[in-house]
Amino acid sequence: MSKHDYHNQLKTIWEKAVSLYESGQRGCVTFFTPEELEFLGSIGHSAQEVYDFAEDRINYGVPDFETFLLIASLRRYYFIHAMSSHPGDKVVDTGDLPPKKDAVRGIEWLPRLIEKARAKLRGEMSDDLMYLCAGDREFFKTHDIHPAEFLQFVMNNFEDDEAIIDFVVRNSKAL
């Protein structure tokens, strides 16, 4: 698969995962062929990530493919260009993140979300974590910020917490 149309293969994998989950099949290890797993690895993704997004699509109606693609594309870009296509060796577990109720400038969940976004970009999320889980979706809905836009901003301001916080404050419809 060439780089200019990786999104077509990703869409095929997405549609397959959604279909399998919808039909009652469970467990990401049963979803993908070795070739599909190799492709996912080449763009910095895991089977678990695709599975989680497909599961939420069926159970909650979100995300749509376009949101999945935008998020996957940002991860792919970071993996290829910032990480030189070398997977990291760190794994971020739920307990490594700030607590859900932690707040900065009165905004709950934001300290946690910043760290999740960084872990997503670096491909460090453990299988029990998901960028765009129900709590993340509620945050983005409340503040009227698209999850891919937030991820892009974190990528562009990776080490600058204040810039990321300012971005949320400037763009939030809830503040």
Global model pTM greater than 0.85: yes
The reported pLDDT for the residue numbered 168 is: 98
The reported pLDDT for the residue numbered 2 is: 59
For residues 94 and 138, membership in a common domain is answered with yes
List per-block mean pLDDT (blocks of 10 residues) for the chain, which spans 175 residues.
Answer: 83 98 95 96 96 97 98 98 94 97 98 98 96 98 98 98 98 92
Q: DSSP strand E in the chain: where?
A: 103-104, 107-108
For residues 80 and 3, membership in a common domain is answered with yes
For residues 97 and 121, membership in a common domain is answered with yes
For residues 93 and 128, membership in a common domain is answered with yes
The reported pLDDT for the residue numbered 3 is: 73
Looking at 51, 67, 87, the residue that finishes a domain is 87
How many separate domains does the chain show?
Answer: 2
User: What interhelical angle do 6-22 and 34-42 show, nearest 10?
Assistant: 130
| CB-based contacts of 23, cutoff 8 Å, min separation 6 | none
For residues 102 and 77, membership in a common domain is answered with no
The boundaries of the domain holding residue 171 are 88-175
What would the 3-class secondary structure string for 34-61 be? HHHHHHHHHCCCCHHHHHHHHHHHHHHC
For residues 58 and 36, membership in a common domain is answered with yes
- Phi, psi (5° rounding) for residue 88? -75, 170
